Chains A and B, each alone.
Chain A
Amino acid sequence: MHILTLIFLLLGLLFFTGGTVGILRFPDFYSRLHPAGKLDTMGLLMAMAALALYCFGEFSIASLFTGLKIILIVIFVFITSPTATHAIIDAGVRAGLEPWTKEKRKDMP
């Protein structure tokens, strides 16, 4: 059980690292939202799965309910994180932010 916890925790930290590097390095606001969404869903799923497995490891009613609450956090984030990402993108589109292109086009100011 502890080996599974370690593997899932390391995978979650790997996804968190990739998301942070992507947020720092991508050139545009729209492309920066892509690693942000990955970091929210995938990294949090892996890390929370590791912690829930660790809680399920000790056999008692209290730790069982704690693990179920951790799974509830994951379900909540899986509903709300795409909603938040879509709201941010909607704000960017309505405010008129232009997507990043490699060469500046002539017809754009």
Chain B
Amino acid sequence: MSISPTARDFVPTTGFGATDLAPVDYGPVSADSAEQIDQLLVNGFPTLSFPAELEKRFQHDTAADRLRVIIITAALVVILFNGYLLTDLLMIPDVFAEAVALRTGLFTPVCLIGLYVLIKTPHPFFREVLVLLAAVLATCIVLYLPSISKDPLAGPYLVGLAMVVMFSHSVAQMRFWMAIALDIFIAIGTVVALQFIPPAPIEVMIPAALVMISTVTFTLFGCYSLERDERQNWLLRIRETNLLAALKTANERLDKISRSDLLTQVANRRHFDEFLTQVWERAELDGSEVSLIMIDVDHFKAYNDNYGHPAGDECLRQVAGTLKRRLRRPGDLVARFGGEEFIAVLTGTTLPIALQAADRIRVAIERLRVPHVGSPTSSFVTVSVGVASMRPIDRGASQKTLLTKADEALYRAKNSGRNRVWPDPDAGGAA
């Protein structure tokens, strides 16, 4: 096994790191299962079984493929088992009528009925039991026919059991433990059948037994490898799903972090610029209006000096939180513009509507009632707000002018006493 990092290396670590960056989360399976998967892949699973929860999931995930294999092999087995009548005709011609009755009259319909039942009620264990029962029925027929035959070739005919073993173990990919059960049944059945079969020369029967024993050993080995490989690949797939989920979460988080302001958790300046450009381009196409709301915390320096920077940070967080709660339409975006300045974009919004939204924001901040003793404006934290709107298709409109106008409006709001909303002075008095 390689010593590359495993899925477990990405299980969240607890501790200080968990501030605003909760660690990468597990997607599809629990961390417990992920650890089990790593262990199974490293240490192997010699008994071909997983811990209960994983086993259930493995059976569920592989059910469709397994059913397909069984349907194909069932069709094949019906053809091959009837085709074997030719060998019956050549080696034990005296019981050919019985052979036809059993192979065509009994095995074929039973097999088809079994298949129908299987498709109707797919349950993993039940499914494998049905496969085993089909193989047991085939074995019984192959043992019964030479037992009632008087032909001297009836003894060597038993080697035909090798076909049953080979087919069920390798083509039908019987589950290993079911295969073991079948082989035990065949061994006991053969010993019983030999009591009835016309005696064949020991010189023939010993090599025949050797052929049977090597067939069973080799195909059991193959059967084991097949199931182990299937299980191993499934584990790898699951681990991959986990990795993919972890990668997706990490990428999303990375995306989010690179777009947001770490202190206040609203968008950062860079993301704001990108967003505004997008909004602007869309509005250019449909001729709608874009509004900007610029918000500044009043007397923030005094607040900082009075209460200290940690409190100042907390104040900014509260203001940002209020902005985010107030502006939550899909086309709105709140961003931190600089120190104590915030900005919001409202798409498809006219100036009067934006002004209403701005005033609701101003009131909401005032109602937070965050004490601010150093403010000459109010005894609580307040904001001044400037609002500007523009239709990108209008002549002379640009993102830059819109920003300038919003800034000018904010300047007016500050100059006329703070804790108020002011519209773009060029827009023609909607104050």
Q: Do A and B bind each other?
A: no
Q: Give the B-binding residues of A (Cβ under 8 A).
A: none
Q: Give the A-binding residues of B (Cβ under 8 A).
A: none
